[in-house]
């Protein structure tokens, strides 16, 4: 039995995250940041010339004050901007890139969005308060290229082992607490997605995984896709947590799931108490 000797040799390979930091997760480049550093041009001239051409999905922009921004919901993590303009763009290590609210993916974050984001976080905390220690996830491919699926599948291997955290994947939306959506939002998946949402128990939490799910990536806008999964959701249902990346790492997806289910909170927030009883099915 070679697996026995291999197990004795390697020992426990499962990460200790989130109970304790994981060195690999902390060192892995997880996002791109924009910042004017000493020696860079003035903010008003930053988008002149070929700067906009650096990004194939248009993730580079400028706010009304002239500050360069990066929309991580459009960023493919290709690194072209970091390589060409290191004085303006840099890699940000770590896996905590998920955000509650689509506008929070645009960095630097706008101050006027703080009130809206706080209300969104409060609503999410209220809905997940009833969740117990066991959370079931239904994954729906809404026109993915398959890259996110590989990372999601990795969550079940011995390294990440999400079952140790009480997170389980289910084949039926009727047993699901969380819908995990991937893909650019294919119009052909509009009706199946609506039927899945209608069949899912309430309260419902929706997590969009990947740049394609957030904005459509390279294939949006186009005749075949809605430019992300949000455009296919029925009225009254919205994406609660956005996980950027193309594809995001398993650690980033795990962070998004923990954020969506109330296991993690943003800095400065207070965790809401859990309800004593499990919600009825």
- Is residue 232 within 8 Å of 226, Cβ to Cβ? yes
pLDDT greater at residue 123 or residue 168: 168
Q: Count how many domains the chain has.
A: 2
Residue 216 forms part of a structural domain = yes
Q: Quote the domain boundaries for residue 227.
A: 111-260
My answer on whether 131 and 180 are in the same domain is yes
My answer on whether 230 and 152 are in the same domain is yes
Residue 275 forms part of a structural domain = no
What are the tens digits of pLDDT across the range 176-206?
Answer: 999 999 999 999 999 999 999 999 988 899 9
Residue 193 pairs in a beta bridge with none
What are the tens digits of pLDDT across the range 34-77?
Answer: 875 544 444 444 555 567 788 999 999 888 887 889 999 999 99
Residue 174 forms part of a structural domain = yes
My answer on whether 152 and 221 are in the same domain is yes
Query: 102 by DSSP, 3-state: which?
Result: helix
The one-character DSSP state at 99 is: B
Separation of alpha carbons 135 and 96, rounded Å: 20
What are the tens digits of pLDDT across the range 123-152?
Answer: 777 777 777 778 999 999 999 999 999 999
My answer on whether 78 and 162 are in the same domain is no
Q: What is the pLDDT averaged over residues 82-87?
A: 90
Give how far Cα 26 sits from Cα of 14, 201, 246, Å.
16, 35, 18
What are the tens digits of pLDDT across the range 232-274?
Answer: 999 999 999 999 999 999 999 999 999 998 887 544 344 444 4
pLDDT score of 268: 39
My answer on whether 243 and 115 are in the same domain is yes
Mean pLDDT, the chain, integer: 84
CATH number at residue 208: 3.40.50.12280
Residue 177 forms part of a structural domain = yes
Separation of alpha carbons 126 and 119, rounded Å: 11
My answer on whether 77 and 205 are in the same domain is no
My answer on whether 62 and 180 are in the same domain is no
Query: 141 by DSSP, 3-state: which?
Result: strand
Residue 105 forms part of a structural domain = no
pTM of the model: 0.86
What is the bridge-based pairing of β-strands 89-93 and 29-34?
antiparallel
Residue 55 forms part of a structural domain = yes
Residue 101 forms part of a structural domain = no
pLDDT score of 67: 83
What is the bridge-based pairing of β-strands 135-141 and 178-182?
parallel
pLDDT score of 37: 53
CB atoms within 10 A of CB 239: 21
């Amino acid at each position: 039995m070679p697996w026995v000797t291999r197990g004795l040799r390697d020992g426990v390979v499962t990460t200790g995250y989130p109970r304790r930091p994981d060195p690999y997760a902390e060192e892995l480049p997880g996002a791109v940041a924009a910042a004017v550093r000493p020696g860079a041009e003035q903010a008003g001239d930053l988008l002149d010339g070929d700067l906009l051409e650096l990004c194939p999905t248009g993730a580079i922009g400028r706010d009304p004050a002239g500050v360069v921004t990066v929309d991580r919901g459009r960023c493919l993590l290709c690194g072209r901007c970091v390589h060409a303009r290191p004085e303006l763009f840099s890699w940000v290590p770590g896996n905590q890139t998920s955000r509650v609210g689509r506008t929070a993916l645009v960095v630097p974050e706008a101050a006027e969005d703080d009130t809206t984001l706080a209300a969104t976080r409060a609503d999410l905390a209220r809905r997940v308060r009833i969740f117990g220690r066991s959370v079931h996830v239904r994954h729906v491919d809404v026109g993915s290229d398959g890259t996110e699926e590989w990372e999601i599948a990795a969550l079940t291997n011995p390294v990440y082992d999400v079952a140790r955290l009480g997170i389980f994947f289910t084949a039926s939306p009727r047993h699901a607490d969380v819908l995990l959506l991937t893909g650019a939002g294919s119009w052909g998946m509009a009706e199946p997605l609506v039927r899945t949402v209608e069949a899912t128990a309430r309260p419902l939490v929706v997590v969009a995984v990947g740049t394609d799910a957030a904005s459509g990536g390279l294939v949006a806008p186009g005749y075949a896709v809605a430019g992300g999964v949000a455009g296919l959701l029925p009225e009254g249902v919205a994406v609660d947590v956005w996980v950027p990346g193309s594809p995001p790492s398993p650690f980033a997806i795990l962070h998004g799931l923990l954020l969506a289910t109330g296991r993690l909170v943003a800095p400065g927030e207070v965790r809401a108490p859990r309800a004593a009883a499990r919600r009825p099915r």
